Chains A and B, each alone.
Chain A
Amino acid sequence: MKTFDYIRPATVSDAIAAAAEPGAVYLAAGTNLLDLMKGGVTRPDRLVDVTRLSGLDRIERLPDGGVRIGAMVRNADLAHDMDFARAYPAVAEALLSGASAQLRNAATVGGNLLQRTRCGYFYDTASACNKREPGAGCAARDGENKLHAVLGWSEACIATHPSDFCVPLTALDAVVEIEGRSGRREVALEAFHRLPGDTPERESVLAPGDLIVALRLPSEARGFSAHARYLKVRERTSYAFAVVSAAACVRIEHGTIREARLALGGVAAKPWRARAAEEVLAGVRPDPAIYRKAARAALADAKPSGDNAFKIELAERIIVRALMLAAAGTPQRIPALPASPFSSVPGVLHDA
């Protein structure tokens, strides 16, 4: 690991000034950053430790019914907050399906948004990677790419975003609060991450020095709490990144879906909101045939970036299954295997 200067600022404005310098990065728990630094994938000159900044570790119920989550709240603390888990069960389930208990105890909400891709070529400094070294090329294009993107990818980069947490957040219109050199601003999570295009090294809208201070979920997001699930296919049942995942939330009144929210993980460089599918579902009676139609709409623009055509079909099936689970109702307690297709639910098909 290359050595670095370590700074622990006392205030948010000191942090921003320290992190705006070239070569500086923020350090929260470091569960992703230290891994990248050990492998020489990221080589910062300066670490600005934001874990001691006051006021960033609170979960606050807002007067308008929404919730504000400080950027330094730990993943496990948020998932196990009873009020939060009851109001946003798909978010809690997604959190608990990610990483391991040890990592969830350390990893922060803000850091989760800024996770780097798990593309093996990004991690392997001997391989070409446009994200790590702009202009170097992409070894994944002709490499082992069965887990790579099927939506929103470019010739420059076919990596996926690894977060589970971001998938239901995107479906529920989460907003990111950012503090920077020119003050505070807000960005919808859906617009926070960038698709690769010709500049895969630019992964979000953050400018140098910008600090995520909080996430907000609007009050309307609570309206889905009775029918909200996150479903994630992994290569092993626990402690693995998504091959494909889906967050499905529906609001059912008098036997009809009034409103649906759907987002996908593991398919693109950002959490993928499926608005075309949501439109298919609005105002219809819950039914597997209509779920299949919605799933096809969600993946209408998908194309394989390598040996991964199966992910398109898999994503459609996961959407159908997630919608069936959501329509069946949010379980009283998060399943023993959070988000796993192997947690059986009576009345829901296993081979949707």
Chain B
Amino acid sequence: MNFSISLTVNGARRDIELDDPRVTLLDLLRERLQLTGTKKGCDRGQCGACTVLVNGQRINSCLALAISHDGADVMTIEGVARGDQLHPVQAAFIAHDGMQCGFCTPGQIMSAIGLIEEGQAGDDPERVREGMSGNLCRCGAYAGITDAVLEATKNLAQSDQRRSA
């Protein structure tokens, strides 16, 4: 059985022929579209390394069937910077050492972008830690990650203010 689906991935429309309904969104991104920034950690929804934004919301792409997301708008780590200009969340992760080995980092950053967009955590470190609990970091860079998310939240709020001023 063949299925045609189309997705918008990082702003570009992609038409894809699926020869197998079992393909997850994660495997589609990595194996068919060669977007390997999104990582396969546990592949069971427990680690968050595969986090992407679907229609603006963060989800685990390993637990999403690609075929069920026909028509969706997907944003991956490859789509967040503007050319050489890093996304404020990426810049904050570098400034605060929010990583060691870096494997979980794409998922952490996508999750942080989703968290900031959801607007539930604000400047409360405890709410940030709770909001990021779906992203495991085996190196234990959590303190830097929390600081990075807090700073990025603040910077994004300020740039929003400047835009509306």
Note all chain B residues with C-beta closer than 8 A to A8.
68
A182 within 8 A of partner (CB): no
Contact of B120 with A80 in the complex, beta carbons under 8 Å: yes
Note all chain A residues with C-beta closer than 8 A to B67.
6, 49
Q: Please give me the residue from chain A that is nearest to B21 by CB atom.
A: A6
Given A6-B3, A101-B115, A105-B57: A30 and B21 interface contact (C-beta under 8 Å): no
Closest approach, in angstroms, between the C-beta of B60 and any C-beta of chain A?
5
The segment from B8-16, B31-39, B124-132, B148-156 that touches chain A is B124-132
B118 within 8 A of partner (CB): yes
Number of interface residues of B (CB under 8 A): 36
Contact of A106 with B22 in the complex, beta carbons under 8 Å: no
B51 within 8 A of partner (CB): yes
Note all chain A residues with C-beta closer than 8 A to B73.
none
Q: Please give me the residue from chain B that is nearest to A240 by CB atom.
A: B133
Closest approach, in angstroms, between the C-beta of A35 and any C-beta of chain B?
5
Contact of B126 with A106 in the complex, beta carbons under 8 Å: no
Number of interface residues of A (CB under 8 A): 32
Contact of B60 with A239 in the complex, beta carbons under 8 Å: no
Given A3-B21, A38-B44: A336 and B124 interface contact (C-beta under 8 Å): yes
0/1 string, A1-13, CB within 8 A of B gives 1: 1011110100000
- Other than the given A27-B65, A76-B118, A336-B130, 14 more pairs (CB < 8 A) read A4-B22, A31-B45, A34-B24, A80-B120, A100-B135, A101-B134, A102-B45, A102-B48, A102-B60, A102-B111, A103-B60, A106-B64, A238-B133, A336-B126
B interface residues, Cβ below 8 angstroms from A: 1, 3, 20-22, 24, 43-45, 48, 51, 57-60, 62-65, 67-68, 111, 114-115, 118, 120, 124, 126-127, 129-135
